[in-house]
Amino acid sequence: MNQAIENFKQIFAELQAHRALPALAGTPLAWLERERELAVEKWSVDGLPTRKLEAWKYTSVQAISDAEIVDAGGPDARALAELESVHESARMQVAVAAELVFVNGRFIPQWSTLPHIAGLHVLSLAAALRSDVPYVRNVLSAMRETFGSAAHKGAETAFAALNTSLFRDAAVVIAEDDCFVGSPIILTFIQSGTASSRVAPQRMTAVYPKVLAHFGRHSQGHVIENHIGPNGATYVSTSLSDLHLGDSSHVSYVKLQREGDHGFHVGTTRVFQARDSRLDSLQISLGAKLARHDLKVRLAAPGAEAVVDGLYIVRDHQHVDNHTAIEHAVGDTRSDQLYKGVLDDESRAVFNGRIWINQDAQRSNSSQLNNNLILSMKAEIDTKPELEIFADDVKAGHGATVGRLDPEHLFYFQSRAIDPASAVAMLAEGFAQEVVFRRGSAVVREALLPLVRQAVRGLKVSVR
Amino acid sequence: MEKDMAQTLLEIRDLHASVEGKHVLKGLNLTIRPGEVHAIMGPNGSGKSTLSKVIAGHPAYEVTAGSVRYEINFQMRDLLEMEPDVRAKEGIFLAFQYPIEVPGVSNIAFLRTSFNAILKHQGSQELDETQFAEFVNKKLEIVKMDPRFLDRPVNVGFSGGEKKRNEILQMAVLSPRVAFLDETDSGLDIDALRIVADGVNRLRTKDNAIVLVTHYQRLLDYVVPDFVHVLADGRIVETGDKSLAVTLEARGYDWLVK
């Protein structure tokens, strides 16, 4: 068994020994404690995935497996002061309904803004467990049915299981029935990491950001997950987000990944959609040395629809892997995916889009597109659709494109006084922003466009 | 002598150029002074488009001999040493025969970035979005363009005529000192031709120069040139005034090319 798993086992043993869940102390949620133990089996027996597994064929997490894993501690005042600049760059220029800030998975009340909207609860799990609001209590108990291990059997990744076993606190978002929230709810996860060294094995701190979100019947809201860490620091974030969309709810969900340049982010988002619910999802991956996102959406009742988009802009030796899995469990459900990527230097991207249409899921409608713009001869993209269709009356389309910047475009810009670097940035931004314009909310679009503009700065081109 | 130098804007001497290994320009000479309009005519394959591309700095075109010198601050400078965007910043403009479609970049953002790049190069204050919108709105009228075209992606879904008008709009915004208009009249119906020609006429000043690269005499009925040159097999073989264009229309090129 590898180094990392041994360290994770020690960390888990210490947790067990002390019942040392400082944030959750005194307020146990019995089923969640049971889930921790069940999840241990998943990662401690199988270990972290290797490239022998089909789902990890193009993404090696060997650097994590070989690392000496250290549990990230809760930040003291001095650590927070050191992270102030990261916190500043994490800020999004948008009016918020609420913002929770976590550092190394611990809730930081003084950096957070709680909501003042009737029917909206945005709070740490520790606080939620102390809540006497019946709606909150009911949701916490019901979450098990949707996201407990029984619901997922063996399907989750070892990293999601690590999160379940080792998380300390979580961001909880609960919108009661008919609750309408117009401004974004921001969940910021700041990782402090540890100074990276040049020699192997790498010492790596581990963090387990967690989100539990529930939107009641006819509710509406925007959630933006905001993951960030300092450049030069080594860490692994195993984020796990669970979203439950009630009947006729409409949720826009953005996961924004801007981890530091030595950070590893291996995250999972699981979505359960009830009747006539609508998900509008966008995964944006800009940072990290290696990022992997597993997004699983279960369209569980008729009328459920999901728009599942992604954007990655990578350079240097960055590696990003998006695995989506959309399950049309019943008929009259719809999914629409658009993942776009810009790759420069020696970066590498993977897209694997799995669509599962159940035998009885007639009249399902799904589409999937993955478009890539490659700026360097040394960048590489591996893109693969994976359609498993067991019903006969369905629409399922998929496609992928890999394009290079057209030298004629570049010359046209130059002939209009625009230097090549600005031209590449404008062309890449024009290519990338399509997914942002697909967001229904003007507030969300306005919050994201500056990030895209910033991300395309400094891209180079070597088309000739 | 110095005075003479100052009066030359662009001086092309014995220019040889090739593209994809094919020798196209074979010793071309041309002198352009402020306030002049030149027409360069010639049969297909004579090198008209190559000349425009070489002046603008297209990377696929290789200059194998000769020189192109351009007056900047009363000094004749080597144009061929400059990157294409630097040439544009210094006032060289090429209206494309086939304007490029640029999805995802709005016409107004493109124009503003372009205009601000020039302002910055000149050491002037750049314009913000509001200031530029005001500035560009005045220019729209020159080519009778609907303001809605500003918010559309550059040339995407534009008709042939709209694309050519957009090129002239860019010229109006950038106020170049030397503008090469490469087959700007091709693919235009008579109304669009009038609009484009009218726009070009309004952009003529005593300080700038315009070079019309064209196949037909039609455009020259509207934009009257000071000089008409016939380009054949990579060289200028005949130069005259506007009456030469009329002769060419009547007799074709054969009598010159032989």
- Reply yes or no on whether the pLDDT at A383 is more than 80: yes
Confirm or reject contact between B56 and chain A (CB < 8 A): yes
Mean pLDDT computed over A136-164: 80
Within A302-370, residue ranges assigned H as helices are: none
**β-strand pairing of A250-258 with A278-285:** parallel
Q: What percent of chain A has pLDDT over 70?
A: 94
CB-nearest partner of A426 from B87, B94, B113: B113
Enumerate the β-bridge partners of residue A326. Answer: A297, A355
Residues of chain A with C-beta less than 8 angstroms from the C-beta of B118: 417
- Residue A38 has a pLDDT of 85
- Residue A142 has a pLDDT of 82
Confirm or reject contact between B173 and chain A (CB < 8 A): no
Mean pLDDT computed over A163-171: 92
Confirm or reject contact between B205 and chain A (CB < 8 A): no
Mutation to test the A interface, candidates B102, B108, B118, most A Cβ within 10 Å:
B102
Confidence of residue A23 (pLDDT cuts 50, 70, 90): very low
Residues of chain B with C-beta less than 8 angstroms from the C-beta of A422: 113, 117
- Looking up tokens 């009066």 gives B7
Confidence of residue A150 (pLDDT cuts 50, 70, 90): low
Residue A414 and residue B57: Cβ atoms within 8 Å?
A: yes
B132 Cβ partners below 8 Å, 6+ apart?
B108, B111, B112, B115, B116
Confidence of residue B79 (pLDDT cuts 50, 70, 90): very high
Confirm or reject contact between B20 and chain A (CB < 8 A): no
- Reply yes or no on whether the pLDDT at A194 is more than 90: no
The C-alpha atoms of residue A94 and residue B72 are separated, in whole angstroms, by: 47
- Residue A131 has a pLDDT of 87
Residue B102 and residue A409: Cβ atoms within 8 Å?
A: yes
Q: What percent of chain B has pLDDT over 90?
A: 86
Torsion (CA) A417, A421, A424, A426 in degrees, nearest 10 = -70
Residue A128's Cα: distance from chain center in Å?
Answer: 22
Give the residue on B whose Cα is nearest the Cα of A463: B59
pTM of the model: 0.90
Residues of chain B with C-beta less than 8 angstroms from the C-beta of A408: 100
Does A201 sit behind a cis peptide bond, omega within 30 degrees of 0 on the bond before it?
yes
Residues of chain A with C-beta less than 8 angstroms from the C-beta of B100: 406, 408-409, 412
A:B CB pairs within 8 Å? 75
- Looking up tokens 């209590």 gives A137
Residue B13 structural domain: 2-257
Mutation to test the A interface, candidates B85, B90, B110, most A Cβ within 10 Å:
B85
Mean pLDDT computed over B86-92: 98
B206-250 per-position pLDDT tens digit: 999 999 999 888 899 999 999 999 999 999 999 999 999 989 888
- Residue A26 has a pLDDT of 46
Confidence of residue A21 (pLDDT cuts 50, 70, 90): low
Residue B105 and residue A420: Cβ atoms within 8 Å?
A: no
A61 Cβ partners below 8 Å, 6+ apart?
A48, A49, A264, A266, A290, A292
Mutation to test the A interface, candidates B108, B113, B124, most A Cβ within 10 Å:
B113
Domain count, chain B: 1
The C-alpha atoms of residue B27 and residue B13 are separated, in whole angstroms, by: 7
Confidence of residue A28 (pLDDT cuts 50, 70, 90): low
- 3-state DSSP call for residue B136? helix
- Residue A201 has a pLDDT of 66
What ipTM is given for this predicted complex?
0.96
- Reply yes or no on whether the pLDDT at B18 is more than 70: yes
Give the residue on A whose Cα is nearest the Cα of B174: A416
Q: What is the CATH number of the domain that holds B54?
A: 3.40.50.300
- Which range among A9-23, A437-451, B223-237 shows the weakest confidence by mean pLDDT? A9-23
Helix (H), strand (E) counts: chain A: 13, 23
- Residue A108 has a pLDDT of 96
CB-nearest partner of B85 from A407, A409, A418: A418
A175-184 per-position pLDDT tens digit: 999 999 999 9
- 3-state DSSP call for residue A332? coil
CB-nearest partner of A427 from B59, B105, B170: B105
Within B40-106, residue ranges assigned H as helices are: 48-56, 84-89
Residue A417 and residue B102: Cβ atoms within 8 Å?
A: no
- Residue A1 has a pLDDT of 58
Cα distances from B65 to residues B12, B15, B30, in angstroms, run: 11, 6, 15
The C-alpha atoms of residue A415 and residue B174 are separated, in whole angstroms, by: 11
The string of DSSP letters for B182-245 reads ESTTTT--HHHHHHHHHHHHHH--SS-EEEEEESSSGGGGTS--SEEEEEETTEEEEEE-HHHH
Which of residues B152 and A154 earns the better pLDDT score?
Answer: B152
The Cα of A335 is separated from the nearest Cα of chain B by a number of Å equal to 24
Enumerate the β-bridge partners of residue A174. Answer: A121, A214
